[in-house]
Amino acid sequence: MGVKKLAAKVADYKQRLEDGKASKIEPDHVEKVLAKLRRKQADLDQRLEETTGTDERERLERKLAVAKEHIARAEWLLAELG
């Protein structure tokens, strides 16, 4: 998942926040984005179930893998923000 890299990005964000160059992220903001990502994943799952073509299935599986990574990152970020 690249937790280290995400942690580095969060550290950079916190520095920018201290310098007054970033907007404060509240848990609510992450939850809203997480909800969108989960809806997107559900949509991809459904399309995968309905698709039979090999090429299309592979494409959807790749998209699903990316969607799941986003969700994992968002969940980590939510936990990090407490």
Which residues lie near another protein (CB under 8 A)? 2, 5-6, 9-10, 13, 22-26, 29-30, 32-33, 36-37, 39-40, 54-55, 58-59, 61-63, 65-67, 69-70, 73-74, 77
Find the farthest-apart pair of alpha carbons in the chain and give their distance in angstroms, rounded: 52
- Cα dihedral 63/40/38/76 (nearest 10): 50
Q: How far is the CB of 40 from another protein (least distance, A)?
A: 6
User: By C-beta, is 5 or 45 nearer to another protein?
Assistant: 5
